[in-house]
Amino acid sequence: MIDSPLRIADHGPIRTITVARPEKLNALNLATLDALQDAFIAAGADDAVRAIVLTGSGPKAFVAGADIAEMNALTPVQGRDFSLRGQRMMRAVETLPKPVIAMINGFALGGGLELAMCCHLRIAADTAKVGQPEINLGLIPGFGGSQRLLRLAGRAATLELCLLGAPIDATRAQQLGIVNRVVPAAELEAETMKLAGQLAAAAPLALRGILDCVNYGGECAIEEGLAFESTQFGLMFATDDMREGTAAFLSRRTPAFVGR
């Protein structure tokens, strides 16, 4: 039996998915890409899961990149297939109807930064470093790095990180909009789980509506995005959670959302 490259655990409505290849600094090989896709599809389909935290094992790395030893032997056709495989997995995370937080505990380089960027929120330890160093290997980002980094940080920052290949620290990454929050390394897990708990307590259908609106609106004209938002807004009025949320507000009590 082959050991899984992931560790998966549930903490109430929060599911943690940990890339568990510390001896390889959690590098992404084919088996890990496939295991991640399966894990996120399963989390998306499990009604008991309301928020997901993704991280890496060990003290050094979130994910230090793709597995260079595996890539070194690829043909051009295999290289393209490897890229498409990673992109499919990360697109599955990005379009998941539940919020995913990347808990960046160390190096997030190359494929590791690409994996973090496909998550909905990113919280980093103050000791973490991120970057797209593929240029140093005679490569370019292959799992969506050039596209998601462009959308998160803009053209100038994307060209700087991709052309120079030098990592930046977490504070600089936050300034560029690549990560949402930076916290002391000793507080990273507690702060991430606190954030995940807040998301898990929110209205699941409203969370999904927001994720859908942002995903759709980021790729279309403003008029189309506004029309999509109005449709999603109207759909919320058919939910029990909307009635609960508004009634709780009027009664000055905490709402209890059930996802209906």
Residues marked as catalytic? 114, 134
Cβ(119)–Cβ(89) under 8 Å? no
For residue 212, what is the enclosing H or E element?
helix 204-217
Beta pairing, strands 6-11 & 14-19: antiparallel
Cβ(19)–Cβ(36) under 8 Å? yes
Closest CA to 46 of 74, 10, 79, 18: 10
* Rounded CA separation 157/159 (Å): 5
Cβ(140)–Cβ(90) under 8 Å? no
The gap from C-alpha 60 to its chain's centroid, in whole angstroms, comes to 19
